[in-house]
Amino acid sequence: MTIEAKSLEPGERLLWHGMPDVGTYFQRRNPVRFPKALALLAGGVVLAGGASLYANTSVASAWWLLPALLAVALLYLPFRVRQDARRTSYALTDRRAIMERPGVLLRNRVSVPYSEIRRIEVRNGNFGDLLFRDYVTQSEDGFQVTRDGFFAIADVQEVERLLRSAMNK
């Protein structure tokens, strides 16, 4: 799914639009590695076997479900990251940068006006990252600044040139 010119504001021109490379996006954004999830699932199965052999009550024999359910969720997460990559799209207009990603119920569209971009960072590779959006997130360690932008795009230097050119106008 791509961002189309008809979804823009009146008078706004679409300069570039693209999508991330699914394989590269997956490698950079996948928080879970497959072997860890499989090990957790195996642990849940071992606990289930032990509980069924030695437990006399149904409550004691059902406690193994928690690691098994967690493992299933961890096994699903990489598939979800790939699916999200296939449905993510990016665009540059003459006024702003747009990132459109799938959400829980609706698509999330983040629009970053050029006046809000303070710093542009390029990470090169076969498919590069163009980072230009800073936002604050809160974790158990306190507040931290997170960088966001276009991940795993082809011709990252050309897109960076377009972005800088549009910002200067």
DSSP state of 11: T
Which position has the higher pLDDT, 74 or 122? 122
Q: Cα separation of 4 and 27, whole Å?
A: 27
Report the DSSP pairing between strands 128-139 and 89-93: unpaired
- Both tokens of 155, joined, read 């011709």
Asked whether the beta carbons of 160 and 122 are under 8 A apart, the reply is yes
For the chain, give the percent of residues with pLDDT over 90. 41
Asked if residue 169 lies in contact with residue 153, where contact means CB atoms within 8 angstroms, the answer is no
Q: Percentage of residues in the chain with pLDDT exceeding 70? A: 79
70: pLDDT strictly greater than 60: yes
Q: What is the pLDDT of residues 15-68, one digit of tens each?
A: 999 999 998 888 877 766 666 666 766 776 676 666 666 665 555 556 667 776
Instruction: Please give the Cα distance from 141 to 60 (Å, whole number).
Output: 35
Mean pLDDT of 140-161: 91
**Nearest CA among 113, 88, 115, 92 for reference residue 102:** 88
Query: Which residue in the block uniquely carries the two structure tokens 């999330």?
Result: 108
Question: For residue 126, what pLDDT is reported?
Answer: 79
Would you say 151 and 89 are in contact if contact means Cβ atoms under 8 Å apart? no
More confident of the two residues 139 and 91: 91
Distance CA 29, CA 13 (A): 30
Q: Is the pLDDT of residue 78 over 90?
A: no
